Structure 1
């Protein structure tokens, strides 16, 4: 995968400490350490990005400099969408930062290169309440309809959704239900679904169902894969003439509708699993005019 001319290196001095040149085995171990603790999906994506970068450079990590990363960035700008370019650069910068901070590399060549700014396209992935009603009510398959509504109310990521089991849902005193999601960054969070949805879900539960059984079973009596859920959502959108709808669209849509209907933003932050309010606040800029004035209760007197 790498050029043989870069296998022999001198020892580098970093703050008086010697850092030996990386061997192929050491480089692999470094990458594994960097990936430790990340989710399965993140590990796969980051590993693909780093391998792509190293294949492009034909060097080992301790021989790469800023010019190599800039050359790769120029290539990415020509071949990839801005969001993909940004993700790939962020992965490589993260790897170099990790290696440098842990004194596994003497320098951090990625520090001088800023990741590109990309268009915030979240507003393009939000359905109106009328569109959502139409999408939901034209779904002919009752189980798929329940899946769509659970995605919408829970605002779960598709991987979290596919991992849901009956033991992850607990009924509350008001007959709504608390759903436990295990998701990104190995974090657990809880969200609430409406009594109407919970009662409908309970109606599908068989007598011999155990807590470890998936909530939804496909035709092979197995949990749905992420690909199958994507296909169900995509087909539901196309049925009403909306193309490109994905499970993440439904996550954005559910959060936006709850905010529009008065949900506190800090609650959405917690239930979406966002690290900060700055991320959740992006939803507030999606529909101009929907916030602020609509919540003013004191009105101007009639003339």
Structure 2
């Protein structure tokens, strides 16, 4: 049964588009009140996928997490395909998992959780309590009751329906994987990043072959370029992402000696990853490997392949001493801001101030439009969002409202905005700047602004390779907040910087609270000339 195509709609209480779909009667009868998880590619092509959960009733509806009509259209198509796959799985009935499949699935959970929290594991005390709570659940014989909701959400995310015996065995297996992850993250939190010697106990997850596997197995050749083209049309990535991912695909094709997606095995992906690491590439996990995983995940979700050959493949790269990126110190920030004060070019004049006193990324402020400099509850703010002419942000959490520091206002920033009008503040002729056509790869104008600003910073003598010309402001702001005792959650809300905890989505800092924190940030003094 093919489901009729739906179109994205508007919510009455939100500017975001909505996926809304009538649920077939047979699915309602079997799954009423159940959950279905939708997964969309991340905005910038790397990082965590965007996941939303819907409840099965007479219809299912979820936010598409975007105000952009083109992105909404692409995500609506993805949601349609995923919902159809969900319905087909329900109609096939519950699967019975083998013991190896149960342990392999618990390994998927383990790797996903560890990878998500590896860089910011939090406090060791949190993980001691985590393991203690898991031990108590086992002692009370309450593993299925307490772990069950987590397992159900995980199964919904994987679009799996299993029988009750398989579910109970999976609860026990994920309970053990949780303890293993908790002990490892406890070590990470204490500064010990040695790998888990038991991480290889999990077999590879190859998915559950449908009962009609032979009929459903994709036939023919699917090239990497064909797959990328399909993903690109639905995902509407930025021009820089298109260029970068094409280079990754070219690298994989050169390594394999062919471009047939259905011939690629996990061993092939591991060998490619090992070759990249050996060649000295520094960000394989978040770059090449993340991109290929996203492509194969898309292919699997759309029934183009039967298993993701990149699933479970990761890189255990450690930063060496002397390689970690550093913040500017107070003197350097004061010096750059003094140089900015002497500039007449708008980007050089205002962007260093906006970055330093908000901790924003350069790409976020470089694409500001005048109409997004406004006031909330009497507080002057900048609304950080994708530029109206087709800009993009790093991820969903990057969209936020940030108070403007009084020192910036005192220097006449609001007067500057008023003169520039409602359009772009730092690039181009506002009358000529238009959105790129769907599928057209065009680098956003703000990228050039950001690059010119970085060159200007370097030209003025700030050449330390461990201090990124613009991003070192973001590091400085975070460090300053820490020194002033500003809560991490408040600093993260100002910077649009997720800590990796599930609770992030529930925190919405009041403007007055964010404004009070920003006002506490002192403006560093410029060095005295001798």
Same fold (TM over 0.5): yes
> What are the within-5 Å matches in structure 2 for residues 45-124 of structure 1?
45-57=244-256, 58-84=258-284, 86-119=286-319, 124=325
- Residue 67 of structure 1, CA deviation: 2.5
Q: Which has the higher mean CA deviation after the structures are superposed, 127-136 or 20-29?
A: 20-29
State the alpha-carbon separation in 2 of the partners of residues 35 and 252 from structure 1: 35
> What are the within-5 Å matches in structure 2 for residues 146-165 of structure 1?
146-165=350-369
Give per-residue Cα distances to partners, 1:141-200, cap 9 Å, x unaligned: 1441322111222333333222201111113566x5211111223552111121221342
Contact 1:34 1:95 in 2 (8 A): no
Contact 2:358 2:404 in 1 (8 A): yes
User: CA separation of 1:251/1:42 partners in 2, compared to 1, >3 Å: closer, same or farther?
Assistant: farther
- Residue 64 of structure 1, CA deviation: 0.6
Give per-residue Cα distances to partners, 1:77-110, cap 9 Å, x unaligned: 2334222465212221232234335443122222
1:210 aligns with 2:410: no
Aligned length: 265
Unaligned runs of 5+ in 1: 1-12, 280-303
- Residue 73 of structure 1, CA deviation: 1.9
Q: Secondary structure at the match of 1:52?
A: helix
Q: 1:28 aligns with which of 226, 241, 251?
A: 226
TM-score (norm 2): 0.44
Contact 1:168 1:179 in 2 (8 A): yes
Q: Secondary structure at the match of 1:124?
A: coil
Tell me which residue corresponds to 1:138.
339
Tell me which residue corresponds to 1:184.
394
1:127 aligns with 2:328: yes
1:195 aligns with 2:420: no
Q: Secondary structure at the match of 1:203?
A: helix
User: CA separation of 1:192/1:221 partners in 2, compared to 1, >3 Å: closer, same or farther?
Assistant: same
TM-score (norm 1): 0.72
Please tell me the root mean square deviation across aligned C-alpha atoms, in Å: 3.6
Q: 1:228 aligns with which of 436, 449, 453?
A: 449
Unaligned runs of 5+ in 2: 1-207, 386-392, 434-444, 503-530
Contact 2:381 2:403 in 1 (8 A): yes
Contact 2:224 2:249 in 1 (8 A): no
State the alpha-carbon separation in 2 of the partners of residues 172 and 53 from structure 1: 49
Q: 1:246 aligns with which of 446, 466, 469?
A: 469
- Residue 246 of structure 1, CA deviation: 2.6
Contact 2:358 2:405 in 1 (8 A): no
